[in-house]
Chain A
């Protein structure tokens, strides 16, 4: 876990450069104002987990970071580049550092597993077919998917689809990887498998990770920072430990709702027992 310095922005890890910065990002879809001034910083090599109730706009934040959605107001900077000002080619240059695991894996359903993972290599590099094969097989082995190369997405289980999606996201050794609800729809053991793969690959590749998840509190174990999105703004962005003990009423309500009541000290807990 990270060390934090006392700066004007709470919980800024020392000695870390920001990989992604959102400043006062607002977004409206029709009459619905989804984001109302989101401020968020993701530091290089760290893991930010965004939590919040369904429909609050967590995925919309990720889409802003990916440049898939433009903010109505505010700026989104990735490695210092303002995504609103970089143009199409500049955006592509920034996206070359991205890997994304979508909620439903977003595999190309007319391609088999091998071709899905090979696609970024075929389209964005000049690798020979032999190099592509070796690279893809390496990633499939890492995801324990060797032997499934010829299968199509429709023939895979939910967990396998996620692993193929992760293999594809990592095949070009990205600097930032986005995970949109990586374990939704998976049972506990499959979820744990995805988390283990995430942990292992992050250790190996050292990428920055942004995770949108509902899997509280398990997801806290992977996080360096946890941000709560509610009412269109980031209520708090803290270390997992500080997040769980926060006094901020919205955070407190979220923690109690998702994790049950937490006690700051043995004395507090004992006090409650005495009352009972």
Chain B
């Protein structure tokens, strides 16, 4: 019985400690953004890494998501004789939900995992200790550019995803099934309002922050991982954890933001 209680206590303490550590990490990252010297080039480089280099995968995912929405939407709406609403169904689904969520999930897979592995390897090879010993704040030097880049890149990638997805839906609905182009766009214009775009924007901003925060923190605290964060296996295990945790966090926060903003 005592052993059981001890186990519960240990687990609770561990989760509280981890949550506190993650919270402090986020605060330090945010402080890093406002700590001089301010350097633009590292931010641009990270925007290029997180944003520009994710463009192809976003174009590809956005196009096929829009196309499958067009396909599914057309067959569903046809049952009610409402094919004319295809444009609004595709646009609303993309702008409010699928755009931000799928963009975030794709960027987590491509850039989030890389951020975690990069910082984890830096931790393992004492490069982060070296920064600290040189009185260079790792939060300002390493984390802040990544965080800013995530917050800048995610909304832009989401916008690309939305536009390409709407075009994909158009291609299938209008090009394949003969839905009227005017009806497709008119439906979209009349149903998508600023509040929908705003929701998508807020989500993409939050997801940008979430994915960099979790990936960077998991890498930074690699040495404190309970399962042992050492060596190549430690980095790979922690990177997997970071991807899973970021993806789950995106889905949970998607629900929370939707429920608050609806």
Contacts and interface: CB of A to CB of B under 8 A. Distances in A.
A66 B137 CA distance: 14
B7 to A, nearest CB: 16
B114 to A, nearest CB: 12
Interface in A97-146: 98, 100, 102-104, 106-109, 119-120, 123-124
B135 A106 contact: no
Nearest to A116: B130
A260 B121 CA distance: 40
A86 interface: no
Contacts of B127: 106-109
B260 to A, nearest CB: 35
Interface residues of B, number: 15
A100 B136 contact: no
Given A103-B126, A106-B126, A95 B133 contact: yes
A106 B125 contact: yes
A93 B132 CA distance: 11
A92 interface: yes
For chain A, the bracket of interface size reads: 20 to 34
Nearest to B128: A106
A242 interface: no
A120 B121 CA distance: 21
Nearest to B118: A110
B125 A104 contact: yes
B129 interface: yes
Nearest to A153: B125
B3 interface: no
B1 interface: no
Contacts of A23: none
Given A104-B125, A106-B125, A109-B125, A95 B135 contact: yes
B130 A100 contact: yes
A68 B134 contact: no
Nearest to A178: B133
Given A106-B127, A109-B125, A68 B133 contact: yes
A120 B135 CA distance: 9
Contact of A95 (B37, B125, B126, B132): B132
A36 interface: no
B141 interface: yes
27 contacts: A66-B129, A68-B129, A68-B132, A68-B133, A92-B137, A95-B132, A95-B134, A98-B134, A98-B135, A102-B130, A104-B125, A106-B127, A106-B129, A106-B130, A108-B122, A108-B127, A108-B130, A109-B121, A109-B125, A109-B127, A119-B136, A120-B134, A120-B136, A123-B37, A123-B134, A124-B136, A178-B133
Smallest CB-CB A-B distances: 9 pairs: A106-B126, A106-B130, A95-B135, A92-B135, A100-B133, A123-B136, A102-B126, A120-B134, A96-B135
Given A68-B129, A95-B132, A95-B133, 11 more contacts: A63-B129, A66-B129, A92-B137, A98-B134, A100-B133, A103-B126, A106-B127, A106-B130, A107-B127, A120-B134, A123-B134
